[in-house]
Amino acid sequence: MAAALLSFATTGKLSAQDGKTIYNKWCSGCHGETGAGDGVGAKTMLPHPRDFTKAVYKIRTTASGEIPTDDDLRRIVEVGMPGTAMPEWKSRLSAAEIGAVVQYLKTFSPNSFKGAAAKAIAIGKAPGGDGVADGKAVFQKLECYKCHGLAGRADGKSAPTLKDDYGNPIRPADLTENWKFRGGNSVSDIYTRLRTGLDGTPMPSFQDAVENKLITDEQLWRVAQYVHSLSPEKTPESREVVRAALAQKLPATPDDAAWATVERFWIPVVGQIIAKPRWFAPAVDGLWVQALHDGRSLALRVSWDDPSKSPDPIWDEWLGRMSKTLTDVDGPLATQQGPDRLVVQWAQNPSDESKRPYFLGGDTKSPVYAWRWSSEPKVEEGSEAGLGHFTALPNGSVTQSARYADGQWQVVFTRPLASSDTTKVPRFGEGRAIPIAFYAADGSSGEDEVRGAVSTWYAVYLDVPTPTRVFVAPIAMIALSAGLGMLLVTRAQKNGRANGATDSSPMEER
């Protein structure tokens, strides 16, 4: 590093040799010193790190099957690959350092890069007007749904059969979560991927479809616009507190239209990599949580993308491929698909912050109160003392109503606010935040009660009916200040008249 910086200081330019120094320090841990994508950290990552010796790159602006341009490589190093372990590097490495690394990457595959530099394909401009409906029709015509699913949630019929060029399982992009698109989520990014394809993966290029006049170039743009429209306008940000608004009547089913108007909160979940066995390839990456209460009961709707309603025999092949790829990390995967799972856990004693249980399912000293749901579907109510160590409580009062459609689970939990058991069940009191945490697992990917995705503590706040003092205090304040103002004015005017005239101004009046 020091040598690299020294040479930069003297020449202002970095060589591929400096690139090697930087690469070995920052990149080799995953991509390996020989560039074969087999660094010491590689095996816990899915997708695996890129193998530079093959010169097969997913994110390019060049035609399908061609090498990328230098700018393509530079861009990936600069901004990273969202949704994978590849981070952005522009906050750590200078432009010159990244340039040197790019030159060095190419030396891992000298034959591929020895000819003329690759040329980016010409990308026009997105056609104007609203093309989302047209785009949807072309999406169907090109059979994108076969992998990406009818609603774009990566649940197509072919999804369980997909593998990359190395035989590793690979998921189609979830088109409703475009913040994880590897090559960016703008309409022109998406269009570029459609034109170039993602080399090394089952995602083809649609250049041929345009050249053979199966579809027009404009129609391909429409597909990009349609895909773009499937995700929320803004990347969701997680907020600490989920608000349970007051409602007259609680919707009992997941597809009740009333849920559409309830504010939804994004809770990101990540692989459970704390307790044994750890899990580095979670199928679920976030939950949309909505809550309502009517003063007597609480209703919670949790929605999450899961490409399979587990167990499902068409996913056996996928599970086999997962077990083969993710070996050596804390023991073998299950050979049979389990159900899909969701655990909603609560702090047993929310009023005492100093006694909050461990976020990972509590522990023996301080268990959590949990709703354990599985896709049979059923829900059990109980206490958990460490992940998977669950004891059901008698007379559980939580009920569930679940729906699986188009690659998404929607589950509504309902339970009375009051409880006879005050030690193992929190008091669901209004006007305060009750700690809540989540655990989600997809049975078809080999996930179970410990291998899955987790969140740390969030909170649910139950709205209170607005108390009268909220209106009394401002009105009193208005009356008081207006009265004082009037008093001030009348006194000043009385004094003014008593003095005969106002003070003569030393300055010109406005």
Partner 1 sequence: MTRLRLFLRHPFWQAVLLLVVSYLAFTVGVRYVPPLFRVASAPVPGSVVLQYMFIAIVGILIFVSSDELRWRTFKQPLHATLVDQDKRWLRGGLLVAVPVLLGFATYQQARPKVEAPIQLRSIHPAPPGQITFRGKAMQLSGLENPLRKSGSMADHLREGKRVYYQNCIACHGDRLDGAGHYAHGFSPAPANFSDNGTIAQLTESYVFWRVAKGGPGLPREGTPWNSAMPVWENYLTEDEIWSVVMFLYDQAGWQPRRWEASPEERKNPTGAKQPAAPNAPKAGGAK
Hey, which residues between 418 and 437 contact partner 1 (CB under 8 A)?
431, 433, 435
Residue 120 CB contacts under 8 Å (≥ 6 apart), including other chains? 61, 62, 69, 71, 72
d(CA 24, CA 37): 13
Q: Which of 8, 280, 316, 403 binds partner 1 (CB under 8 A)?
A: 280
Q: On the CB side of 118, how many CA atoms lie within 13 Å of its CA?
A: 22
What is the distance of C-alpha 396 from the center of its chain? 32
Tokens representing 442 are 């997809």
By DSSP bridging, strand 458-462 and strand 453-454 are unpaired
> How far apart, in whole angstroms, are the C-alpha atoms of residue 361 and residue 218?
52
Q: Is 359 in the site for partner 1 (CB under 8 A)?
A: yes
- One-letter amino acid for residue 93 of the chain: L
Tell me the per-residue interface mask from 438 to 477 with partner 1, x by CB under 8 A, - otherwise: ---------------xxxxx-x-x-xx-xx-xxx-xxx-x
- Number of residues forming the site for partner 1 (CB under 8 A): 77
Nearer to partner 1, 57 or 89 (CB): 89
The count of residues in the chain is 510
Amino acid present at 54: K
Q: How far is the CB of 507 from partner 1 (least distance, A)?
A: 6
* Strand 368-374 relative to strand 453-454, pairing: unpaired
By C-beta, is 220 or 385 nearer to partner 1? 385
Q: What's the CA gap between 504 and 327, in Å, rounded?
A: 93
Contacting range for partner 1; rule: CB under 8 A; set: 133-141, 168-176, 273-281, 306-314: 273-281
Binding mask 63-102 for partner 1 (x = CB under 8 A): ---------------------xx-x-x-xx----------
* 240 alpha-carbon distance from chain centroid: 15
Out of 271, 338, 339, 407, name the contact with partner 1 by CB under 8 A: 271
Q: Does 331 bind partner 1 (CB under 8 A)?
A: no
Contacts to partner 1 from residues 474-503, by CB under 8 A: 474-475, 477-479, 481-482, 485-486, 488-489, 492-493, 496, 502-503
Specify the stretch interacting with partner 1 by CB under 8 A; choose among 26-34, 193-201, 222-230, 410-418: 26-34
Pairing of strands 241-246, 458-462: parallel
- Is 305:284 a contact under the CB 8 Å cutoff? yes
The answer to the question of residue 356 lying near partner 1 (CB under 8 A) is yes
Q: Which is nearer to partner 1, 243 or 403 (CB)?
A: 243
Of positions 54, 163, 243, 264, contacts partner 1 by CB under 8 A:
243
